[in-house]
């Protein structure tokens, strides 16, 4: 699908971010048609270009995180480099940045300056602790947001220290809130007089917002949620079990009718019909007993047999997938969740499919993450600069 037919076609976004949170926000916007110009330092660009697994000297992650974006190099320590950024911001609908609070202001790129030249600007600011408060000047990564926001404390087993999830989920959650905030601010601009505003996303608050019932439970009952391993706290039965062949299987039998089907599927119709287990409160009171008998039933069978029995009984269940399992799965394939792509040297690869799926105006991958500064000349020409002026800027170290 061409960018012109996507839902964010015509929206201009300037990205002044690195690594994960800011660039993931703009990646989402770019996937759905926004024109994203990513400003990078001429000296190596975004550090993500060198993170994790590399191919031909560039991160494979980069090819996804920067897809559909245009790369412009500008030296923010050079006055003419800063002038270019200000000109681009003056034409943008959205600026996304994830510097520590105060950095853009020191560069002359703060809200007062940019909105003064562009009153309709939406400025999305991602940082560890937000733009205000006593912690605002502290450095903060996703791991810090996950820790302070409550996620790390409740993740893992009670007899061991807290653990992290396998990805930088704090950054990713913040990016999602940032994208939502940007679109809400655009909507406000459209219907309420055309003024822009700041969208202030703190990583710790983005994580904190996902903490379900934690706040009212503590405020009313003084209850502190603790680590419960693979068990869903207070909701029974929902747990991970290990099959005879070593596969890990998650079974969610915590609905009243689902629980009855689960008990019949594992040969315990007596428990399916027991009045004391008819609701969650009764089941949770006997959680250890229920998990022991479900675990014993799973351990006596191979994973495929367990999954087939759960499917036949209409009980939610899944093996715990590795990425190799995902590539073999027919549901992933049917939903187009692995898009074929080709790297510049001809190496074939797959990139993740676009989420969410819009029926009329879906997102798509138009190109993979660009080379550093790949679009600099094109973008500057679009600003009205001549080839001679661009060459002179490059000679000065401004771009």
The predicted pLDDT at position 2 comes to 65
Going from N- to C-terminal start, the domains of the chain cover 3-210+336-396, 238-319
CATH of domain 238-319: 3.30.1540.10
Percent helix / strand / coil, the chain, rounded to 5: 40, 15, 45
| Average confidence score pLDDT of the chain | 97
Instruction: Give residue-wise pLDDT tens across range 138-147.
Output: 999 999 999 9
Alpha helices in 47-198 (DSSP H): 60-65, 79-91, 103-106, 111-117, 142-148, 169-191
Superfamily (CATH H level) for 3-210+336-396: Crotonobetainyl-coa:carnitine coa-transferase; domain 1 (3.40.50.10540)
- State the pLDDT confidence band at 1, using cuts at 50, 70 and 90: low
Alpha helices in 213-277 (DSSP H): 214-221, 256-265, 269-272
Which residues are catalytically annotated? 171
Instruction: Give residue-wise pLDDT tens across range 49-108.
Output: 999 999 999 999 999 999 999 999 999 999 999 999 999 999 999 999 999 999 999 999
- Separation CA 360–CA 339 (nearest Å): 19
Alpha-carbon torsion angle 5, 37, 371, 367, nearest 10: -10
SS3 135: coil
Query: Mean pLDDT throughout 353-373?
Result: 97
| Predicted model pTM | 0.94
- State the pLDDT confidence band at 4, using cuts at 50, 70 and 90: confident
- Beta carbons of 26 and 174 less than 8 angstroms apart: no
């Amino acid at each position: 699908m061409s960018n012109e037919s996507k839902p964010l076609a015509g929206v201009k976004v300037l990205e002044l971010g690195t690594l994960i949170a800011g660039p993931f926000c703009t990646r989402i916007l770019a996937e759905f048609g926004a024109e994203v110009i990513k400003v990078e330092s001429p000296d190596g660009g975004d550090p993500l270009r060198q993170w994790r697994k590399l191919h031909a000297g560039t991160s494979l992650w980069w090819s996804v995180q920067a897809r559909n974006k245009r790369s412009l190099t500008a030296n923010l320590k050079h006055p003419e480099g800063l002038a270019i950024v200000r000109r681009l911001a003056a034409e943008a609908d959205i600026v996304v940045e994830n510097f520590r609070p105060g950095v853009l202001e020191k560069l002359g790129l703060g809200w007062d300056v940019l909105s003064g030249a562009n009153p309709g600007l939406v400025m999305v600011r991602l940082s560890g602790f937000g733009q205000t408060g006593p912690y605002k000047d502290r450095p903060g990564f996703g791991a810090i947001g996950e820790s302070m926001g409550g996620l790390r404390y409740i993740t893992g087993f009670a007899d061991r220290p807290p653990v992290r999830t396998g990805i930088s989920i704090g950054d990713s959650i913040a990016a999602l809130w940032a994208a939502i905030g940007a679109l809400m601010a655009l909507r406000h601009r459209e219907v309420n007089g055309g003024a822009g505003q700041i969208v202030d996303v703190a990583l710790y608050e983005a994580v904190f917002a996902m903490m379900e019932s934690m706040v009212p439970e503590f405020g009313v009952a003084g209850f502190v949620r603790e680590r419960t391993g693979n068990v869903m706290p207070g909701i029974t039965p929902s747990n991970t079990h290990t099959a005879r062949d070593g596969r890990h299987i998650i079974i969610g039998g915590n609905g009243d009718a689902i629980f009855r089907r689960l008990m019949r599927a594992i040969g315990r119709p007596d428990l399916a019909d027991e009045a004391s287990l008819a609701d969650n409160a009764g089941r949770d009171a006997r959680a250890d007993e229920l998990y022991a008998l479900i675990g014993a039933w799973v351990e006596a069978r191979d994973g495929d047999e367990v999954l087939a029995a759960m499917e036949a009984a209409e009980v939610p269940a899944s093996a715990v997938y590795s990425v190799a399992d995902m590539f073999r799965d027919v549901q992933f394939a049917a939903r187009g969740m692995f898009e074929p792509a080709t790297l510049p040297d001809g190496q074939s690869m797959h990139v993740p499919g676009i989420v969410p799926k819009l029926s009329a105006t879906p997102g798509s991958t138009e190109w993979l993450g660009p080379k550093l500064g790949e679009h600099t000349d094109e973008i500057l020409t679009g600003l009205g600069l001549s080839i001679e002026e661009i060459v002179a800027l490059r000679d000065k170290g401004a771009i």
